[in-house]
């Protein structure tokens, strides 16, 4: 799905997902909020 400024999206538990910037002109700035149960088995690459 494509998202833009001010958009919010939800990822169901245990669903694989990724977010990337396909623009050469605009920065991707995002806020990731995860439940307390996330642990070291989760990965987050920037």
The model's pLDDT over 14-44, given as tens digits with 9 standing for 90+, comes to 788 888 899 899 898 888 887 777 766 666 6
Structure tokens at 13: 């538990």
Question: Which pTM value belongs to this model?
Answer: 0.54
Residue with the bigger pLDDT between 13 and 24: it is 24
* Structural domain that includes position 20: 9-46
Specify if 3 maps to a domain: no
Specify if 23 maps to a domain: yes
Specify if 37 maps to a domain: yes
Dist. CA 33–CA 21, nearest whole Å: 19
Q: In this structure, what DSSP letter does residue 42 have?
A: S
Q: In this structure, what DSSP letter does residue 2 have?
A: -
Specify if 4 maps to a domain: no
Specify if 43 maps to a domain: yes
Specify if 46 maps to a domain: yes
User: What one-character-per-residue DSSP string does 6-22 give?
Assistant: T------TT--------
Instruction: Give the count of domains, the chain.
Output: 1
């Amino acid at each position: 799905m494509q998202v833009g400024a001010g958009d919010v999206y939800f990822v169901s538990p245990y669903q694989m997902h990724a977010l990337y910037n396909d623009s050469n002109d605009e920065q991707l700035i995002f806020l990731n909020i995860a439940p307390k149960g996330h642990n070291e088995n989760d990965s987050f690459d920037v």
